[in-house]
């Protein structure tokens, strides 16, 4: 059981939380919904002892665990029986699963009893019906497996501090911060039942998300935050996803549903029988052929790890592939040249942005050496500033102005910086990989609308996306990658289930 009572928190005069109250009963999964910036992260940071509330109280488990303004530190939170799985994993890649758990779930400096820890890890995994090798290196695990390690670690941290023999304690509280943001649909399907099993074992789960259908699937009750205040709290049953979305963003959100149009444009990307060399690691791209024309969005659906990475590298010219032709753009100029591809990469923080540089500099990152941003070898900072002011306004990038670092922006606004830089020059071909990953509903819709609008203005768009609902809402054609082979689903002349079967290779 965890109860927040009138939690208030202000950051330098700005109210982040205005008297938020929330009660999650023992053994239930309680959803916390809200847009980026609605205050759900701040609330959870207070619960976990990373921030202190200005006013209010938090009660964990029972009344003797009532603390005036929340735990004083993560260690204090663990003592009270609260564990948290952060959205960004904090697992040392070179460590083993056991070492990761020892680091996160125990204190002191002493000798590590590996056998005992392995037994604890296995017991916890078995309880959740997971397979985990305690000796596996973190770097060898996929994202879904790493998340399981994080969950086990959080559970052990609660159990070990309380000194209970069982890794679970009935009053334990587990916070899952956007646990599905990094998962494939299959991994989500495996995670959600495990969350239910946790609740059945007596753990109280706070499930932070902005994916409505997941909240609907896994939560007993939900609290919806908007601008630091609770707008709704109650059972999930009887609350439609449409209603949840309305409560979250204040207005009805419609995912863009473009008018389908016949393909009329010239080919912008032609791939003819692309195969990786015979000794390439599985899944090996085999006989992949397709064309993306101007004025269309071709979406590649597929479970992560079925050849998407290799395909994208070939399209971008990072890997040499003669089978890939981009009319008008030489292979080695796809990223660097004037006629280059507009690229929205998967990992925006590492592959698209320099986090410590300003918004302004990130916006000219690819053109700073060319007119009008540089003349005769001199950089024209005034032109940079004017350009940034223009794009910040046109793409509604909300933050502390063009001189602020990109790191200071929310995820959605960071993505807007990427999109502004890549789309303002009206590239003929746009490659977007999971462009809404980690974004809330409104920001996702905005990103997808930008892609649709670019398409309507003549761009050819290749969209590789893990979220099937979003993908179907914008795609003109849907191709499915499975095991390195490409199938044309026939969309829109087929149903969603058919695509799902193709993605799983059972069609």
- Smallest gap from residue 266 Cβ to other proteins (A): 45
- Smallest gap from residue 406 Cβ to other proteins (A): 11
- Smallest gap from residue 366 Cβ to other proteins (A): 23
Q: Are 270 and 255 in contact (CB under 8 A)?
A: no
Of the pair 136, 355, the CB lying nearest other proteins is at: 355
Distance separating the N- and C-terminal Cα atoms of the chain: 45
- Smallest gap from residue 90 Cβ to other proteins (A): 4
What secondary structure does DSSP assign to 54-67, as a single string? Answer: SEEEEEESSGGGEE
For residue 226, list its beta bridge partners. 229
User: What is the β-pairing status of strands 288-293 and 267-274?
Assistant: antiparallel
- Smallest gap from residue 163 Cβ to other proteins (A): 17
- Smallest gap from residue 112 Cβ to other proteins (A): 6
Of the pair 157, 306, the CB lying nearest other proteins is at: 157
* Residue 94 makes contact with other proteins by CB under 8 A: yes
Of the pair 43, 102, the CB lying nearest other proteins is at: 102
With b for 16 or more beta-carbon neighbours within 10 A and e for fewer, the 296-309 pattern comes to: bbbbbbbbbebbbb
What secondary structure does DSSP assign to 281-331, as a single string? Answer: PSSPP-SEEEEEETTEEEEEE--TTSSHHHHHHHHHTSS--TTEE-TTS-G
- Smallest gap from residue 100 Cβ to other proteins (A): 8
Of 17, 29, 53, 91, the one binding other proteins by CB under 8 A = 91
Of the pair 200, 407, the CB lying nearest other proteins is at: 407
From the list 22-30, 58-66, 83-91, 198-206, the region that binds other proteins by CB under 8 A is: 83-91
User: Contacts with other proteins in 311-370 (CB under 8 A)?
Assistant: 355-356
Separation between Cα atoms, residue 435 and residue 444, nearest integer Å:
8
Of 52, 72, 107, 375, the one binding other proteins by CB under 8 A = 107
Of 12, 14, 64, 108, the one binding other proteins by CB under 8 A = 108
From the list 64-72, 89-97, 320-328, 383-391, the region that binds other proteins by CB under 8 A is: 89-97
Per-residue contact string for residues 397-416; x = within reach of other proteins by CB under 8 A: --------x-x---------
- Smallest gap from residue 157 Cβ to other proteins (A): 8
* Residue 103 makes contact with other proteins by CB under 8 A: yes
- Smallest gap from residue 400 Cβ to other proteins (A): 15
Angle, alpha carbons 351-315-323 (nearest 5°): 155
Of 95, 123, 331, 389, the one binding other proteins by CB under 8 A = 95
Of the pair 58, 91, the CB lying nearest other proteins is at: 91
* Residue 213 makes contact with other proteins by CB under 8 A: no
98-107 own/partner pairs: CB under 8 Å, 24+ apart: 98/134, 98/135, 100/138, 100/149, 100/153, 101/134, 101/149, 101/152, 101/153, 101/156, 104/153, 104/154, 104/156, 104/157, 105/153, 105/154, 105/156, 105/157, 105/159, 105/160, 106/157, 106/160, 107/75
Q: Are 503 and 184 in contact (CB under 8 A)?
A: no
Separation between Cα atoms, residue 54 and residue 63, nearest integer Å:
20
Separation between Cα atoms, residue 106 and residue 421, nearest integer Å:
45
* Residue 235 makes contact with other proteins by CB under 8 A: no
From the list 73-81, 332-340, 475-483, 490-498, the region that binds other proteins by CB under 8 A is: 73-81
**Which region holds residue 228: left if phi is over 0, alpha if psi is between -120 and 50, else beta?**
left
Q: Is the dihedral of CA 23, 28, 34, 36 positive or negative?
A: positive
Q: Which of 237, 186, 247, 277 is nearest to 35 (CA)?
A: 247
- Smallest gap from residue 354 Cβ to other proteins (A): 12
From the list 59-67, 107-115, 211-219, 233-241, the region that binds other proteins by CB under 8 A is: 107-115
User: Contacts with other proteins in 25-64 (CB under 8 A)?
Assistant: none
Q: Are 138 and 96 in contact (CB under 8 A)?
A: yes
Of the pair 147, 326, the CB lying nearest other proteins is at: 147
Separation between Cα atoms, residue 422 and residue 229, nearest integer Å:
36
- Smallest gap from residue 132 Cβ to other proteins (A): 18
Q: Are 302 and 480 in contact (CB under 8 A)?
A: yes
* Residue 112 makes contact with other proteins by CB under 8 A: yes
Count interface residues toward other proteins (CB under 8 A).
27
Residues that bind other proteins (CB under 8 A): 73-75, 78, 86, 90-95, 99-100, 102-104, 106-112, 355-356, 405, 407
């Amino acid at each position: 059981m965890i109860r927040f009572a009138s939690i208030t928190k202000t950051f330098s005069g700005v109210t982040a939380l205005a008297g938020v109250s929330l009660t999650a009963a023992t053994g239930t999964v309680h959803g916390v919904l809200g847009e980026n910036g609605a205050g759900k992260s701040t609330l959870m940071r207070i619960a976990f002892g990373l921030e202190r509330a200005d006013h209010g109280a938090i009660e964990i488990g029972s009344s003797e665990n009532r603390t005036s303004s929340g735990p004083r530190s993560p260690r204090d939170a663990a003592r009270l029986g609260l564990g948290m799985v952060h959205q960004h994993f904090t697992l040392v890649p070179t460590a083993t699963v056991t070492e990761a758990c020892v680091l996160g779930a125990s204190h002191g400096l002493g000798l590590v009893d590996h056998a005992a820890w392995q037994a604890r890890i296995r017991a916890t995994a078995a309880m959740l019906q997971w397979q985990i090798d305690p000796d596996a290196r973190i770097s060898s695990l996929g994202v879904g497996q790493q998340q399981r390690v994080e969950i086990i670690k959080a559970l052990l941290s609660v159990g070990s501090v309380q000194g209970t023999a069982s890794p679970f304690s009935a009053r334990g509280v587990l916070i899952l911060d956007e646990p599905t943001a990094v998962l494939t649909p299959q991994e989500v399907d495996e995670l959600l039942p495990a969350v239910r099993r946790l609740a059945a074992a007596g753990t109280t789960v706070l499930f932070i998300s902005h994916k409505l259908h997941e909240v609907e699937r896994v939560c007993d009750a939900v609290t919806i935050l908007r601008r630091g205040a609770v707008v709704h709290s109650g059972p999930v049953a009887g609350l439609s996803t449409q209603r949840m979305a309305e409560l979250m963003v204040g207005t009805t959100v419609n995912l863009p549903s473009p008018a389908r149009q016949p393909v009329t444009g010239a080919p912008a990307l032609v791939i003819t029988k692309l195969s990786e060399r015979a000794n390439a690691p599985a899944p090996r791209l085999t006989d992949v052929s397709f064309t993306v024309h101007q004025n269309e969005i071709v979406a590649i659906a597929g479970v992560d790890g079925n050849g998407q990475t290799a395909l994208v590298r070939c399209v971008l010219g990072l890997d040499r592939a003669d089978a890939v032709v981009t009319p008008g753009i030489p292979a080695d100029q796809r990223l660097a040249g004037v006629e280059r591809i507009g690229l929205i990469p998967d990992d925006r923080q590492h592959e698209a942005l320099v986090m410590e540089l300003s918004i302004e500099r990130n916006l000219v990152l690819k053109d700073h050496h060319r007119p009008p941003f540089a003349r005769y070898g001199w950089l024209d900072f005034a032109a940079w500033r004017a350009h940034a002011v223009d794009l910040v306004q046109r793409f509604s990038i909300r933050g502390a102005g063009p001189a602020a670092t990109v790191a200071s922006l929310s995820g959605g606004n960071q993505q807007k910086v990427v999109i502004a830089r890549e789309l303002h020059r009206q590239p003929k071909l746009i490659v977007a990989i999971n462009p809404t990953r980690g974004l809330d509903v409104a920001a996702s819709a905005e990103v997808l609308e930008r892609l649709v609008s670019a398409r309507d203005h003549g761009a050819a768009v290749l969209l590789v996306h893990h979220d099937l609902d979003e993908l179907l809402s914008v795609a003109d054609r849907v191709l499915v990658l499975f095991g390195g082979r490409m199938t044309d689903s026939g969309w829109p002349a087929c149903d969603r289930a058919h695509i799902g079967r193709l993605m799983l290779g059972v069609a």
